[in-house]
Structure 1
């Protein structure tokens, strides 16, 4: 591999990071007399529309530094979602070919997001074969399989000592009160975000706690609650972006203080409520984070705890206009959105919140 290309590529990735303004930290409108506040860290404003953007950049930088990627190496990832889109963006920036190995059922809207940045979708069947096929493609083409589910933990851990790099320090620097929040709420898919945020807070001695929201059929809540590191449900989740049928390697339960199970209908209702009340059109995983944040705010008020909650808005609504924002599509799923929607509407008026059981 040419040292000059390596240096140019790493410099380009570093320049891209430095050039980015911090994503907004917006205060959500709650009653002024409440002793608690809610902030939304809006990662939907990342160039590729999701919090996966910086994770993909770091993962590719690590592969270049390790000598696994050169000037003509094809980058390959097994993903049809935000990680694929972000990886395609950085491959285009570096002039590298990119292939996203996706399930054969992947819709046109998702494929278009990958192709927008010059990526090539490669369909496979059955859906779970994407990982094996991505590894095969890398071997057949001399490419590099990014394998974010298997490698992102090391990438995150390598940067935890950097006080200026990552989501957690950006949140802490942006709070107007000048004091750390009581809670930071994130979704969990690969486990990278909770690992990065929780790991940073622990390493640097902040008292802030980390809450993870988890959809139905996901392994994270039961695995965390039982202490079973290899817990698996074997069932796909219906909330895109979060939840997995198994505990992924990057998920670190030691840096997570609470996992909040969120009903699927509540995630969707909360996503729509957030758009209506704050003008933030985000995806369903952000709805789950909003629902979980309301639960924590209610609990703080119950126990007389003052302070703030920060929730992370994970991705923009662009990929979901024909699904989670479409009434006919959600009705076909059998979701009752009216009940959680009523709870969300009632919360700022009365402070009442559904019993979590």
Structure 2
């Protein structure tokens, strides 16, 4: 009986390997080289007079080459697609995104020489659309934000590789380490007076960041609590409180990147210890307050995070507790020059940040939380 040929000797296999696997190896090498060239992002410390025993730390993810926290996610999604055999040479890549993920994915698609399509709500900040286009990506704008998933699936049915940030973020990211954001934060705190923070605060867009941080805190057996900062009325808060994955948002939000209208597959409720809902006006005021404190502009989700941090710090101070609070500066404020930082745009959307700005300045000074009443 003749023995079967060794797989590498089969003529019909060699051409397929030459066309496919060799390019995948080259693509993975490019991603590894990019990761090796990338420095970690800064962890900024802010001391507020009202909280002498509670230092604030801000992980500045806007300093990534593509300008946001989503640089980490985009790299992970491309790695996941390549290693699962879903992405081939010359194949179009598509994803549904309100901006920052799309910009990061366009950046990596250009690195790998691949066409990229971002399915975006038509209301996305113009600066983000321009950034995707500047990187060679195409923006497929959808009038109804609820239809972005279906539109991305439409592209996938026609041969595109759907990176699927909402469906795959929590599984594509290595939550045990490999310089994920949680490991990075804890490593940068190691020489601080309190190297294990009391709280880490983040938003929920895909759910990948909160899932990664929550899992890592448990994996490392740390006593740090995890809080999700959520635009008021968005789906994560309602779903988390009721443990209901069918929960939907009760109101829209102006804060891009977080505040999803539905519970996404990557939302892991059980690794989150607390959720704080934040009105849009408060988030935008906090974004302006961040510029006062740090001298740079950041996006609206960074303001949402800051509001949650201030509330937690005031509660800790009232109970006589000490300890650090860490949060994320998610993306560059320059992307919102025509929206959040534009007084005309704010007036059109009935956003008057002054009362919230006054409340934040007072809280930073005396450590007491006094949220102004919402206007009808």
Q: TM-score, normalised by structure 2?
A: 0.89
Indicate the residue corresponding to 1:165 in structure 2. Answer: 179
1:260-302, Cα deviation, whole Å (9 max, x unpaired): 1111111000100110122131011100111111111111111
Match of 2:188 in 1: 174
CA 214–314 in structure 1, closer or farther in 2 if over 3 Å, else same:
same
Residues in 1 aligned to 2:207 and 2:51: alpha-carbon distance in whole angstroms: 36
CA deviation digits over 1:105-156, x for unaligned, max 9?
545433211011111112344443322222222222x221111111212213
Quick one: structure 1 residues 230 and 19, their matched pair in 2 at CA, closer, same or farther if it must change by over 3 Å? same
Where 2:256 maps in the other structure, the secondary structure is coil
Q: Aligned equivalents of 1:317 and 1:271: distance in 2? A: 9
1:148 aligned residue: 165
Aligned to 2:55, what secondary structure does the other structure show?
strand
Is 2:359 aligned against 1:336?
A: no
Q: Residues 108 and 343 from structure 1, CA distance in 2 versus in 1: closer, same or farther, beyond 3 angstroms?
A: closer
Question: Contact 2:126/2:338 (CA < 8 Å) preserved in 1?
Answer: no
Given candidates 120, 132, 148, the residue that maps to 1:114 is 132
Aligned counterpart in structure 2 of residue 12 of structure 1, from 30, 34, 41: 30
Question: How far off is 1:103 after superposition?
Answer: 3.2
Choose from 326, 344, 347 the match for 2:363.
347
- The aligned counterpart of 2:156 is 138
Could you tell me how far 1:104 is from its partner in structure 2? 4.1
2:65/2:71 contact within 8 Å kept = yes
Report the counterpart of residue 286 of structure 2 in structure 1. 270
Question: Is 1:246 matched up with 2:246?
Answer: no
Query: Any unmatched runs of 5+ in structure 1?
Result: none
The number of residues matched between the two structures is 353
Q: Deviations over 1:281-329 (max 9, x none)?
A: 1011100111111111111111111110011111111210111011121
> Is the Cα–Cα contact under 8 Å of residues 75 and 91 in structure 1 kept in the other structure?
yes
1:229 equivalent in structure 2: 245
CA shift digits 1:202-259 (9 cap, x unpaired): 1221111111111123011122122222211264322112101111111111111110
C-alpha distance in structure 2 between counterparts of 1:61 and 1:187, whole Å: 24
Pick one of 287, 299, 304 that aligns with 1:283: 299
Q: Are residues 13 and 119 of structure 1, via their aligned partners in 2, closer, same or farther at CA, if it must alter by over 3 Å?
A: same
Which residue matches 1:2?
Answer: 20
Q: Conserved in 2, the CA contact under 8 Å of 1:124 and 1:130? A: yes
Task: Give the corresponding residue for 1:305.
Answer: 321
Q: 1:33 to 1:333 in 2, by over 3 A?
A: closer
CA 1:296–1:107 in 2, change beyond 3 Å: closer, same or farther?
closer
- The aligned counterpart of 1:185 is 201
Return closer, same or farther for 1:110/1:344 CA change in 2, 3 Å cut-off: same
- Given the superposition, is the C-alpha separation of residues 18 and 197 from structure 1 closer, same or farther in structure 2, using an over 3 Å criterion? same
Structure 2: unaligned runs, 5 residues or longer: 1-18
Alpha-carbon RMSD:
1.8
Residue among 36, 39, 49 paired with 1:31: 49
Could you list the per-position Cα deviations for residues 162-210 of structure 1 after superposition, in whole angstroms to 9, with x for gaps in the alignment? Answer: 3x32000110011131621110111111111111111111122111111
Return the alpha-carbon distance in structure 1 between the equivalents of residues 280 and 234 of structure 2: 11
Q: Which moved more, 1:202-211 or 1:129-138?
A: 129-138
Deviation at 1:53, TM superposition (A): 0.6
Once the two structures are overlaid, the 10-residue window that deviates more, 43-52 or 225-234, is 225-234
Displacement of 1:18: 2.2
TM value normalised by structure 1 = 0.94
In 2: Cα distance, 1:107 partner to 1:255 partner? 31
Q: Could you tell me how far apart the structure 1 residues matched to 2:172 and 2:62 are?
A: 22
Determine the C-alpha separation between the residues in 2 that align with 1:345 and 1:32.
10
Pick one of 90, 99, 106 that aligns with 2:108: 90
Deviating more after overlay: 243-252 vs 128-137: 128-137
Preserved contact between residue 229 and residue 275 of structure 2 (Cα < 8 Å): yes
Q: Report which of the two structures shows the higher radius of gyration computed on alpha carbons.
A: 2
Question: Any conservation in 2 of the 1:283–1:317 contact (CA below 8 Å)?
Answer: yes
